[in-house]
Amino acid sequence: MEKPLAGKYYKEKWFGVLVSLFLFFVLLCFDYSTSILGVYSGVNLLVNKHVRPFYIKDSCFGRYIYIHDDLPTRFNYDLLANCQSLSTGSKALIDQGTNTGDNMCHHLVNSGLGPQIGKPGKVLANKSWFITNPYLLEVIFHNKMKTYKCLTNNSNLASAIYVPSYTGLDASRHLWDFDHNVRDASAKDLVNWLTRRPEWKKMWGRDHFFVAGRTSWDFRRPDNGSDWGTNLRFLPGSMNMSMLSVEGSCWRNDLAIPYPTNFHPANDSEVVQWQNRVKKYKRPHLFSFIGAPRPGMQKSIRGKLINQCRASNNCKFVHCGSPGINCNDPVTVMRVFEKSVYCLQPPGDSHTRRSAFDSLLAGCIPVFFHPATAYTQYLWHLPEKHTKYSVFIPVKEVEDLKEGMIEKTLLRISKERELAMREEVIRLIPKLVYADPRSRLESEDAFDLAVRGVLERIENVRKVIKEGKDPSVGFADEDWTKFMFPEAPEEY
């Protein structure tokens, strides 16, 4: 009788062990699934602080972006379909080999990069060069966002909401319209549509951002009357959003990202090849300027700057207003910048210039005359210490630009410092170009840095909300220090 009892005892013992193991794995799986739910909802549901849950490493955590793909097409795709009504913004861009007329249609090809330059020659070297219209930044950005690796269809999971509106192209149709109601109609419709969406209620728009290929001033027309621009950025709903554009204003929710250049690499090796190429250039011109005077602008320093360049044997001047000179042709621009040590970048119609990024791309050290041309604009893309990559000659008033001042300043710079600045300029190139939207680089480009910057901005707003503070404080405030000159600029 002893044996059967013992066998039964051992069977029950092993059965108990198996049941215990089963329950352990069930609890483990429950713990595991709860941890995942906590991560994806943005809230840790495990209130017991002594429990150490198993988290899945999510490389996109905190970087998910939701695109308003349901945005009515009148705010984006319909504009492209009616490209005949969109001006290029420059007579020099009207016809570069085809009879396209003064409209954007020819420039919308290749995902907004524009026509590919078929024969880049010795100046450009590879086939990733295009005739890119800077106003199409919003189209290029949208096409790149479509392949962003951390997109989500769940707006509750998103850290940011991207509004794919072509605001600049839309505004260009009515910038000079005498009827303000006509000029502002589309902006009001856009804001009304967004504010009625459930995604808006999450942070009342402070997690929303959009991109414009024009300067932010084009959307800052005051209500007291003006002959230029729309009032988009003064609309209550719009003030809660962040706008990324080629030039920021004095309002903190207008943020600057680089102008698109004509170089859009398809892979990392093309970037490295270009960097190695510009390192080897011989630069016979001490400095150069590509542009035209602004006789109608009393505060423009361009007239005196051009005179100084013409008076020097060390300066190369290309007059963009001269017959036969096409300054929108990348070959024309890069041929000069590649042979120059320094490239002059005075303000033009506004403080910023696309030419500044062309010069950096060519390995030419930019010379700035106003802090708002670059230093207080492109905070996500350029070093905080501006003397690492550029020369600053502060000119508050036209009369401050003394005769021979530019050349004397540049000649005082040592060869060692010149070399160090050029090395920094060349190092910056990958971060200043927008890679071809149809491909993906391993390294970060201008798009990636812009996305990272706006995500960090929105996350800071979340922290303010969690601390119980008012998120509107500092979000869209005016900050005129952006346009102030430093009290003691560094000597060269």
The model's pLDDT over 254-306, given as tens digits with 9 standing for 90+, comes to 999 999 999 999 999 999 999 999 999 999 999 999 998 887 776 789 999 99
Query: pLDDT at position 294, please?
Result: 82
What pTM was estimated for this model as a whole? 0.86
Which distant-in-sequence residues (6+ apart) come within 8 Å of 416 by Cβ?
none
Task: Kindly state the tokens that stand for 171.
Answer: 């505004």
pLDDT in tens, the chain (492 residues): 444 444 444 455 555 555 555 555 544 444 433 333 333 333 332 233 334 455 567 899 999 999 999 999 999 999 999 999 898 875 444 334 333 457 899 999 999 999 999 876 678 877 899 999 999 999 999 999 999 999 999 999 999 999 999 999 999 988 777 788 888 999 999 999 999 999 999 999 999 999 999 999 999 998 766 678 899 999 999 999 999 999 999 999 999 999 999 999 999 999 999 999 999 999 999 999 999 888 777 678 999 999 999 999 999 999 998 888 889 899 999 999 999 999 999 998 899 999 999 999 999 999 999 999 999 999 999 999 999 999 999 999 888 899 999 999 999 999 999 999 999 999 999 999 999 999 999 999 999 999 999 999 999 999 999 999 999 999 999 999 989 998 766 665
| Core vs surface per residue 12-48: b (16+ CB within 10 A) or e | eeeeeeeeeeeeeeeeeeeeeebbeeebbeeeeeeee
Task: Kindly state the tokens that stand for 269.
Answer: 């090796």
Under a CB-based contact definition with an 8 Å cutoff, are residues 343 and 364 in contact?
Answer: yes
Query: pLDDT at position 29, please?
Result: 45
Angle at 346 between CA 121 and CA 365, to 5 degrees: 50
Query: pLDDT at position 56, please?
Result: 67
Please give the DSSP secondary-structure letter assigned to residue 490: P
C-alpha closest to that of 344 among 331, 335, 356: 356
2: enclosing H helix or E strand: helix 2-41
Q: How many CB atoms lie within 10 A of CB 275?
A: 15
DSSP string, 189-250: HHHHHHHTSHHHHHHTTTTEEEEEEEEGGGG---TT--SS---GGGSTTGGGSEEEEEE--S
Q: How far apart are CA 370 and CA 376, in angstroms?
A: 10
Which distant-in-sequence residues (6+ apart) come within 8 Å of 323 by Cβ?
none
Which distant-in-sequence residues (6+ apart) come within 8 Å of 472 by Cβ?
240
Give the largest Cα separation in the chain, rounded.
120
C-alpha closest to that of 144 among 440, 431, 433, 458: 440
- Grouping H, G, I as helix, E, B as strand and the rest as coil, residue 288 is strand
Query: pLDDT at position 277, please?
Result: 95
Query: pLDDT at position 45, please?
Result: 27
- Grouping H, G, I as helix, E, B as strand and the rest as coil, residue 473 is coil
Under a CB-based contact definition with an 8 Å cutoff, are residues 398 and 304 in contact?
Answer: yes
Under a CB-based contact definition with an 8 Å cutoff, are residues 159 and 458 in contact?
Answer: yes
Query: pLDDT at position 219, please?
Result: 95
Query: pLDDT at position 175, please?
Result: 76
Protein fold of 277-432: Rossmann fold (3.40.50)
Under a CB-based contact definition with an 8 Å cutoff, are residues 406 and 366 in contact?
Answer: no
Q: How far apart are CA 263 and CA 357, in angstroms?
A: 11
Angle at 99 between CA 97 and CA 100, to 5 degrees: 105
Q: Roughly how many angstroms between the first and final C-alpha of the chain, as a whole number?
A: 104
Q: What are phi and psi of 47, to 5 degrees?
A: -80, -20
Q: How far apart are CA 258 and CA 263, in angstroms?
A: 13
Which distant-in-sequence residues (6+ apart) come within 8 Å of 435 by Cβ?
144, 264, 265, 266, 441, 445, 447
428: enclosing H helix or E strand: helix 415-432
Please give the DSSP secondary-structure letter assigned to residue 105: G
CA 249 to mean position of chain CA atoms: 15
Angle at 311 between CA 305 and CA 316, to 5 degrees: 75
489: enclosing H helix or E strand: none
435-471 pLDDT, tens per residue?
A: 999 999 999 999 999 999 999 999 999 999 999 999 9
Task: Kindly state the tokens that stand for 421.
Answer: 């600045």
Query: pLDDT at position 17, please?
Result: 52
Angle at 278 between CA 432 and CA 286, to 5 degrees: 100
Q: Domain residue spans in the chain? A: 1-57, 65-260+444-481, 277-432
